[in-house]
Copies of this chain bind each other. A is one copy, B any other.
């Protein structure tokens, strides 16, 4: 085992670059990557660029006793690809900042980059540079991802209108259930599926690309949980929302393993990296059909309504109003 502090910053950068597949080091649109003051990207003529960034801190966003490094490399890129997908854009290039104590095993960091390379390769993303810094207080990872989208086709959070259906892709709660299984050391035949949902989320790029033409009025990715994230669309669009909890899709495995708690996992669990969207009712059937063609299911779970005295979220279960707390995952609050 070689530790980072033995190899040094520049030796480490070379070793990490070596883990990137050739098609991830440089792509047709990224002719200059790791190793200069800045990377060069040639956007598709006429397209707009989109930019997002997400950081993961050891002990807060991941635990090294709960994840392997290769999965962590997948996830640090996937959560950013998910933001680009939620804009309806294609991901193109990423920069990665590693904050390291110096005690890390270089082999572990190579695994991290192998995981990132696999994810990047699958989505046509170049890993085009970054920074490696010493962080005595603990390890952190920060990824910035750039993508591109046809002009006027970015799907924002502020376009939801009263009468629109509220729609989610896939199912909710699997990631939170997977994390609970890891934390509890609980074994189950379906554990692998749920744990994979937590450690290696699959961003919805294909679905994101059809949103605009299908009539989606607002969209975002579900990272902090349905209840909290829907409030962000409501605030940006100045609307209220009614969600039918009976309609919220969850895997049978999640319901079976957490019979008392699965609904909480589904609406407050977070880290699903599914898309949350709003769409006029008359466009929904066609959207669902087109979604299926790109390998995604979409489910209507409620409706946008006028905000009278500011945005209000109403949750219904069997036709009755259910009370829940604020619900958004706040990194400095109690969650």
Give A contacts to B, CB under 8 Å: 4-5, 7-10, 12, 32, 35-43, 45-46, 48-61, 83-84, 86-87, 89, 93, 95, 97, 99-100, 102, 128-138, 140, 142, 144, 146-147, 149, 151, 154, 156-158, 219-221, 236, 328, 330-333
Contacts and interface: CB of A to CB of B under 8 A. Distances in A.
B55 A50 contact: no
A95 B144 contact: yes
A175 B332 CA distance: 36
A9 B60 contact: no
A119 B4 CA distance: 34
A37 B84 CA distance: 7
B138 A86 contact: no
Contacts of A89: 38
Copies of this chain? 2
A280 to B, nearest CB: 21
Nearest to A334: B8
Given A133-B60, A137-B136, A37 B4 contact: no
Nearest to A98: B55
A112 to B, nearest CB: 16
Contact of A331 (B134, B144, B220, B221): B134
Contacts of A135: 57, 60, 137-138, 140
Q: Ordered nearest first, which 10 A-B pairs have the shortest CB separation?
A: A137-B137, A137-B138, A144-B144, A38-B52, A38-B50, A41-B49, A37-B83, A37-B86, A53-B95, A134-B331
A311 to B, nearest CB: 14
Contacts of A84: 37-38
Q: Which of A55, A100, A130 has the most CB of B within 10 A?
A: A55
Contacts of A220: 36-37
B154 A32 contact: yes
Contacts of A221: 37
Contact of A48 (B42, B53, B99): B42
A314 to B, nearest CB: 21
